[in-house]
């Protein structure tokens, strides 16, 4: 496992913690990192101000953004499957988070609601690998989307590891901005893809409707 480039400042956050989504949060103690791990699955996001939490996800063709405000000491991660919705309609349920533009707006909104400032956001992005014959095109589209989206919003990328051939496991520490990334191969690669394949099937069954409020 290796730390991603351009690690953020090491500042001590407050003790409060917040779940970005209204659902059961998967927490466990990770003895290797001596931290409380919070697992984020496809179509989810999580925001925290806790001093001892790290956020973990496995990415294939999906992309995750790790975002924090080092001064407000709040940060989080999302995990999205598809680049963007072109219809302009959204739902209030978690199925909306399948789309990158909604997932980014929701994550940034939650960070701003908890004291973050847009001008101070530190952003690191990962994923978009060509790991499945059915996900190769999606992986490329996700990579193009996340870079174009952040450029259009005037939000610089502090670190990135996109595309490639293998899934990644991401460990993100909002407290410090540090990211550890492990490329998954062989059996671990198959295990990592199980969640994405299941979520991909669910997308076919979950229509999206409604509206959202964009962040400023």
| Poorest-pLDDT segment among 51-65, 138-152, 197-211 | 197-211
Q: Are strands 17-18 and 35-39 parallel, antiparallel or unpaired?
A: unpaired
Segments making up each domain of the chain, as ranges? 2-203
pTM equals 0.74
The average pLDDT across 75-98 equals 67
Calpha distance 20→145 (Å, rounded): 22
Q: What is the pLDDT of residues 137-151, one digit of tens each?
A: 889 999 999 999 999
Is the per-residue pLDDT at 3 higher than 80?
Answer: no
Class of domain 2-203: alpha beta
In this structure, what are the phi and psi dihedrals at residue 35, rounded to the nearest 5 degrees?
A: -150, 160
The average pLDDT across 146-160 equals 97
Q: What is the pLDDT of residues 193-203, one digit of tens each?
A: 555 555 455 44
């Amino acid at each position: 496992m290796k730390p991603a480039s351009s690690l953020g400042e090491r500042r001590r956050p407050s003790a409060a913690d917040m779940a970005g989504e209204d659902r059961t949060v998967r927490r466990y103690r990770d003895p290797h990192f001596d931290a409380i791990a919070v697992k984020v699955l496809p179509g989810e996001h999580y925001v925290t101000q806790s001093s001892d939490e790290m956020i973990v996800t496995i990415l294939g063709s999906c992309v995750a953004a790790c975002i924090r405000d080092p001064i407000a000491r709040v940060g989080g991660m999302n995990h999205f499957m598809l680049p963007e919705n072109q219809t302009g309609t959204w739902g209030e349920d978690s199925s909306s988070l399948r789309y990158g533009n909604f997932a980014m707006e929701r994550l940034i909104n939650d960070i701003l609601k908890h004291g973050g400032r847009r001008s101070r956001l530190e952003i690191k992005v990962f994923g978009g690998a060509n790991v499945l014959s059915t996900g190769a095109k999606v992986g490329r589209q996700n990579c193009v989307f996340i870079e174009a989206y952040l450029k259009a919003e005037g939000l610089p990328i502090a670190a990135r590891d996109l595309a490639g051939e293998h899934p990644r496991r991401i460990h993100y520490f909002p407290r410090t901005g540090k990211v550890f990334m492990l490329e998954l191969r062989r059996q671990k690669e198959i295990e990592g893809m199980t969640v994405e394949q299941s979520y991909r099937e669910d997308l076919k069954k979950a229509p999206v409707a409604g509206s959202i409020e964009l962040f400023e």
